[in-house]
Amino acid sequence: MKNVTIRIPAALREFAGGMAELELQAVTAGTALEKLAERFPLLSQRIVDQDGAVRAYVNIFVGETNIRDSSGLETRLADGDIVTIIPAVAGG
């Protein structure tokens, strides 16, 4: 298990108890999201669909890299990694 930091975007913080970031232990991006879902099911619904796939209007980055350009939810995590969730927002 790797110790990683999850950054929650402003648009979704109300579904994460107002937290901007939290730390958890996971091996892959997918297991990190599963652990997030255990704590915050409403948050999880906005990030992944019923089948567990990341929604088309959300991006998950491990460090600088989009998991879509890596191994998707199987992307391996290392100690100290920062997992950032960035959803589409439209305000202007």
Partner 1 sequence: MSLKDATLARLRKKIAEVSPAEAKALQENGSVLIDIRTPEETSLGIPAGAALLNRDRLELNIEDHAPDPGATVLLLCNSGVRSLLAADNLLAVGYSDVRSVAGGFVRWKSERLPLEVPVSLGANQRQRYSRHLLLPEVGLEGQHTLLQSRVLLVGAGGLGSPAALYLAAAGVGTLTLVDHDVVDRSNLQRQVLYSDTNTGLPKTEAARTRLKALNPDVKINAVDQKLDRTNVEELFADHQVIIDGTDNFPTRYLINDACVRLGLPNVYGSVFRFEGQTSVFWPAQPDEPTPCYRCLYPQPPPPELAPGCGEAGVLGVLPGVIGLLQATETLKLLLGLGDLLTSRLLHYDALQARFTTHRIQPDPNCEYCSGEGEFPGYSDYQDFCS
1 vs 88 by CB, closer to partner 1: 88
Taking the complex as a whole, the smallest distance from the CB of residue 82 to partner 1 amounts, in Å, to: 8
Taking the complex as a whole, the smallest distance from the CB of residue 35 to partner 1 amounts, in Å, to: 22
1 vs 41 by CB, closer to partner 1: 41
23 vs 90 by CB, closer to partner 1: 90
* CB within 8 Å of 83: residues ≥ 6 apart: 4, 5, 6, 7, 29, 32, 60, 61, 62, 77
Residues that bind partner 1 (CB under 8 A): 9-11, 20, 46, 55-57, 59, 61, 64-66, 68-69, 84, 86-92
Q: Which of 29, 17, 24 is nearest to 85 (CA)?
A: 29
